[in-house]
Structure 1
Amino acid sequence: MPARATEARRAAVLGSPVAHSLSPVLHRAAYAELGLANWSYDRFEVDEAALPGFLRGLGPEWAGLSLTMPLKRAVIPLLDAVSETAAAVEAVNTVVLTEDGRRAGDNTDVPGMVAALGEHGIDQVDSAAILGAGATASSALAALARICTGEVVAYVRSDARAAEMRQWGERLGVEVRTAPWADAAQALRAPLVVATTPAGTTDALAGAVPERPATLFDVLYDPWPTDLAARWSMAGGAVVSGLDLLVHQAVLQVEQMTGRSPAPLEAMRRAGEKAMSER
């Protein structure tokens, strides 16, 4: 049931570190646009050890939580229900707290990735490359399962990570081939390159951007642009940013937590862009 504008409700983003998160900016912009004057959205530094106690302390005024690292997998045993998407990638970034006290987990990163790519005209590709093999890479694979008709090559640093990515591929129905990180420059010739690595990891690849690059989806938004994204743009390639992803996944979170749909995508994007310009 849609939330009433006069009803005082709370939501927040949890993680460690979390001080850099733009989620409060995006969600607060949505509340203002939707007229939810008594809704608040905060951020809390919470690690895996502190998560169970934090959840136990939530009162009935809480409507939802956004989760960032390292909590996306740690929260799963603490939930009453997990969506099919979140279960498939073993990662929850959204918890909706119902009036009867239930905790329902979902993953809006996967549909958020698909929506961000679609906004840039990428609805289908015949192959793709993923840089990295962490938690975000599994969400990227799940997104590619919806739009990639052929092989996905994952560039990873260890045999263990390679095995994990192949297992994720089998689980998600994606044809995954793995390659060593030393060959990552070859990834940049793919029709779609998804960079899922931490800040600074892909900087050394900037010099290997081809003359006519296709599309780069770099999930980082701070710092932005990354060296790779900047060089990619200079070469005339299309770039989908981490802010694109953040906004689209936040839109879905707002809709789930407030019951209001559609969430104000453009107002949220403007707020995010303004906040980034001021950093």
Structure 2
Amino acid sequence: MSDVDEVPYAEVIGDPISQSKSPVIHGFWIERLGLKASYGARRVTNETLPEYIATSRGNANWQGCNITMPLKEAVIPLLDDLDPVAKAIGAVNTVYREADGKLVGTNTDAGGFLEPLLGILDKQHLFRMARIIGNGGAARAIVAALVENGFTLVLAARNVGKARNLLAELAPDGEHYTAPLAHFAEATDFPFDDRKGCLDLIVNASPLGMKGNPPLLFDWSHAPPGSIVYDIVTSPAETQFLEAASKAGCQTISGLAMLVGQAAIAFEKFFGVQPPRDCDEQLLDLLRT
């Protein structure tokens, strides 16, 4: 038994996992609160996931785990239950243990994604449109969250059929659209109408632009005036996509904001206390280094 097993602990799992910033976030909060707990990272593949869940289930100190690619859907049949959020999204990014020992899957991606947008979403808009790139587990949560907040969606992916099925499942009502990934890489001469009173969001919900992955190719002629650009990639913290967005005059939101927001929800599930959010700026500075 390792030292980590001697106190309540949680961890992040996935493949690859070395790029995850979750141990820094949870470790920062654990230290600030003086908790006798720990948080780590473990490489788990699709093949080793069943054994990991079975072993962890038998360890009373294991409080749960955050889940990253490519396990967000594969973990579902290994759990005892899903909460309503995970059921609606169809993907799990957090597993926690209830008092009776049951392992429950939830999804904090939606709440974490919305957190830096809450002040904007509190306002009234004539029209809300989001252009979303990607159709993986994180994209599912983002689609569900934006539909709930009145957005018309354009979902771009390599597999347009999969994107179409995702919208049919999560956003069956409303007039939403799909497009091939290459659509946004090529220039357009589309004349945007008056966007006054509208909210336009452009979201990279894919791993494109992450360290070790190809860049996200996006032509900024597709960005309506006043667009907010949100990249959920966290490594690097300031992606080429966000740098280009800033040069194009767009407001930007880094994936670190979503990461901290979703981690805060998971932290309370794991350790039974709220994290100290009054030191977010210090935490974000730490994550950028």
Residue 197 of structure 2 corresponds to residue 184 of structure 1:
no
Contact 1:221 1:241 in 2 (8 A): yes
Q: 1:248 aligns with which of 261, 264, 269?
A: 261
Letter in 1 for 2:13: L
Is the counterpart of residue 103 in structure 1 residue 115 in structure 2? no
Partner deviation per Cα, 1:27-83 (whole Å, 9 max, x = no partner): 1111122221x1010100001111111122221011121111111111111111101
Aligned with residue 260 of structure 1, among 253, 261, 273: 273
TM-score scaled by length of structure 2? 0.83
> Could you tell me the percent identity over the aligned residues?
32
1:142 to 122, 129, 144: 144
SS, match of residue 146 in structure 2? helix
CA distance in 2, matches of 1:31, 1:208: 45
User: Aligned residue for 1:3?
Assistant: none
Q: TM-score, normalised by structure 1?
A: 0.85
AA matched with 1:264: P
State the distance in 2 between where 1:174 and 1:240 align.
26
Unpaired segments ≥5 residues, structure 2: 1-5, 193-198
C-alpha distance in 1 between matches for 2:96 and 2:266: 9
Question: Per-residue deviation at 1:275?
Answer: 3.3
Cα pair distance change 1:212/1:81, threshold 3 Å: same
Measure how far apart 1:168 and its partner are.
3.0
**Contact persistence 1:96–1:257 (CA under 8 A):** yes
Distance 2:84 2:107 in 1: 9
Structure 2 CA distance for partners of 1:31 and 1:244, relative to 1, 3 Å: same
Provide the rounded CA distance (Å) in 2 between the counterparts of 1:169 and 1:108: 17
Hey, what does 2:239 align to over in structure 1? Answer: 226
Give the conservation status (yes or no) of the 8 Å contact 1:11–1:64. yes
Contact residue 155 and residue 178 of structure 2 kept, 8 A: yes
Which structure 1 residue ranges, 5 or more long, are not aligned?
A: 1-6
Residues 113-192 of structure 1: pairs in structure 2 closer than 5 A: 113-118=113-118, 121-123=120-122, 126-147=128-149, 149-170=150-171, 173=173, 175-184=175-184, 191-192=200-201
Secondary structure of the corresponding residue to residue 153 of structure 1? strand
Q: Secondary structure at the match of 1:71?
A: coil
Q: 2-side partners of 1:276 and 1:150: how far apart?
A: 31
- Would the alpha carbon gap of residues 246 and 208 (structure 1) be closer, same or farther in structure 2, given more than 3 Å must change? same
Alpha-carbon separation, structure 1, partners of 2:174 and 2:10: 35
CA distance in 2, matches of 1:18, 1:48: 13
The letter of the residue matching 1:275 is L
Following superposition of structure 1 onto structure 2, how do residues 30-49 of structure 1 map, counting pairs within 5 Å? 30-36=29-35, 38-49=36-47
The two structures, once aligned, show a CA RMSD in angstroms of 2.4
Query: Which residue identity lines up with residue 42 of structure 1 in the other structure?
Result: G
Partner of 1:4: none
Distance of 1:206 and 1:133 partners within structure 2: 20
> How far 1:219 sits from its partner (Å)?
0.7
